[in-house]
Amino acid sequence: MLYPVFMSAALPPFPKPEEPVDARQLLEVALAPDEPCLRADAARNRARLLEAASRLIAEHGAAGVTMEAVAAAAGVGKGTVFRRFGDRTGLLTALLDHSARRLQEDFLGGPPPLGPGAPPADRLRAFGVAVIHRAAEQLDLQLAAQPDGTRRFAHPSHRALHIHVVMLLRQVVADADCELLGQTLMAYLDPALIHHLTGQRGMPLERLEKGWLDLVDRVTRTGA
């Protein structure tokens, strides 16, 4: 199995650099609803599982969250966990859902400079700072929740952020290949990179933030 149906939509074909993004694309990519009309027992078990997983993380860190342990702690069979969340990253992602939603609401409809109203370049700057902070708060969980290999980029939550960045970029550097620039900016915000820099090497967060602001400046600077 790959994913529950509501997560498995095929990726849209890649638009040419000059094609505008369909506004609906943003909607499409919005995070799937938390509990898409589950049967009563299923919803109950889902809640139990999330709570159990939460507890396990608090006790043993993200690494201690094995699927069997979660199932056992929730008093449920292993198969149930997989049916509900697809795979381990699905479960972990669900735990991040609240935080992801809040971030998304903030930049879609919150107050400036993150939300609409501020100049796009400022929104971009604020966006990066927000993402970096969020990453710093939940590093291990975000790290563990990240699918490996290629799937990282196909993941809905990645795509939501990516599309937002691209939208902002288009308003600042309309002539550039914003899809690619967007991937570049997103890569800077990769939790794995952040963890590597702050955890493994001892880089302070402020330097990462400064680096983001500088990167945005460079990327959005229009031709000499």
Cα 29–34–35 angle (5° rounding)? Answer: 125
Q: Which of residues 21, 31, 67, 203 is near DNA by CB under 7 A?
A: 67
Task: Kindly state whether residue 197 participates in binding its own copies, applying the rule CB under 8 A.
Answer: yes
Phi, psi at 35, each rounded to 5°: -135, 85
Closer residue to DNA in complex, CB, 49/168: 49
The C-alpha atoms of residue 10 and residue 51 are separated, in whole angstroms, by 31
Pick one of its own copies, DNA, none as the site partner of residue 68 (Cβ within 5 to 8 A by kind).
Answer: DNA
Pick one of DNA, its own copies, none as the site partner of residue 153 (Cβ within 5 to 8 A by kind).
Answer: its own copies
Q: Which of residues 25, 73, 88, 138 is near DNA by CB under 7 A?
A: 88
The C-alpha atoms of residue 50 and residue 44 are separated, in whole angstroms, by 10
Phi-psi region of 46 (alpha: psi -120 to 50; beta: other; left: phi over 0): alpha
Task: Kindly state whether residue 150 participates in binding its own copies, applying the rule CB under 8 A.
Answer: yes
Where are any strands of DSSP class E within the chain?
none
Q: List interacting residues with its own copies (CB under 8 A).
A: 11, 13-14, 17, 143, 146, 148-150, 152-154, 176-177, 180-181, 183-184, 187-188, 190, 192-193, 195-197, 199-203, 207-208, 210-211, 214-215, 218-219, 221, 224
